[in-house]
Amino acid sequence: MLDIRLIREQPDFVKSRLATRGGEDAAKIDEVLRVDAERRKTETVLQQCNADRKRLSKEIGAKRATGEATEEIEARVREIGEEVARLNEQTSAADEQQRELLLGIPNLPHANVPAGKDANDNPVVRSWGEKPELKDPLDHVALGTKLKLFDLERAAKLSGSGFICFTGPGARLERALIQFMLDLHTREHGYLEMSPPFLVRRECMIGTTQLPKFEEDMYGLEEQQLFLAPTAEVPVTNYHREEILAASELPKKFVAYTPCFRREAGSAGRETRGILRVHQFDKVELVKITTPETSYAEHESLTADAERVLQLLGLHYRLIELCTGDLGFGSAKTYDLEVWSPGQNAYLEVSSCSNFEEFQASRMNLRFKDADGKNRFCHTLNGSGLALPRLFAALIETYQRADGSIAIPEKLQPYFGADEIR
């Protein structure tokens, strides 16, 4: 979350950066400042009361030593004690109110993020490869049904709409893609593999900004104190929460596969057909914990690591930069990777690579000790490396053949165990 000191010292700057996101977040700053002023005023009175009580307690001791009466002073100390208790409650309430307000305010966009209102203003940074030339390509639903790669009807019978049951070669292809990506990121890109729990505590969800803003989209258990992980970002980024790391340990680079669970699966329309937007999906996630000085260089390399998956699979894609109005709640800067889907005749997002700067770290109290011995907040980054099943859909659509079979990219063949699906 935003540093209250920055808001106090540069409120106009904070408001101006928030205004580039659109919405009413800038207006919340005045309320934060009002609560902060009241809280600090109460703390000043509390400090004075504690000082008075300490002074009077010493006076009582001195008078008792000389046999003087202390009843009147003792009564005053009791009054101050009652006032201190009241002020402590007031301060705690103000602290909680201020924290709740800060948790509802998004991160400031980085200065070089392009200004814009929505996704229509996102510039294309670069593209790779060419769109495949296919005559009347089938979409992934037709291909998957014909080759029995997944069964959506029976998945709905099991769990309701918005779920997938991969079958036969489809299940094998899903597994092959996950294994291929994990091996690539650990063996060639230097990430440490993790296999984290799929259930995460409420404070971890707050730490990575899913809560409180997006609580309605999450699957909560135990009276909303435990959640099905919406992404491996949550357990992996929180792995070092409430710790102080040595600067020599940074950057830390983690990769993890998890299923991801999200209630919100999109409004009715083309994206809800098939497997493009679902309540449960597989994803390989990349996470970095860095120093502020290196985080933007690490952001570029993390994005390149995600791009490498698409390049090795021979899939045409483009990289876009999110404008201020399209940034995620906690992000200071984000690149999206969009793979070409011949069956949809459109690009599909398969990765969102973000630098959160210290926004998440401050929520989870994740710090490092710098060369001067000062404890500072780390910067955190993450990105899909990559997300399924949109990658699955784009791959089978891109590699479909006129005879109805699907070729398997060369790099994936050792994992899949064959060079085609027929």
Structure tokens at 8: 């106090």
Nearest CA among 166, 391, 393, 185 for reference residue 285? 185
Q: Where are the alpha helices (DSSP H) in 264-356?
A: 295-312
Which CA distances in Å does 289 have to 103, 249, 255, 322?
21, 9, 12, 22
What whole-number distance in Å separates Cα of residue 357 and Cα of residue 294? 10
Catalytic residue among 262, 285, 298, 358: 262
At what angle are helices 11-19 and 28-65 packed, to 10 degrees? Answer: 150
Catalytic residue among 331, 341, 351, 352: 352
Between strands 379-387 and 346-355, the pairing is: antiparallel
Task: Read off the DSSP letter of residue 208.
Answer: T
Catalytic residue among 277, 354, 357, 363: 277
How many degrees, rounded to 5, is the angle at CA 332 between CA 331 and CA 334? 70
Catalytic residue among 99, 349, 376, 405: 349
Looking at this protein, which amino acid is placed at residue 229?
Answer: A
* Active-site annotation holds for 390: yes
Task: Read off the DSSP letter of residue 121.
Answer: G
How many degrees, rounded to 5, is the angle at CA 413 between CA 139 and CA 286? 80
* Active-site annotation holds for 193: no
* Active-site annotation holds for 352: yes
* Active-site annotation holds for 349: yes
* Active-site annotation holds for 127: no
Catalytic center residues: 262, 277, 349, 352, 390
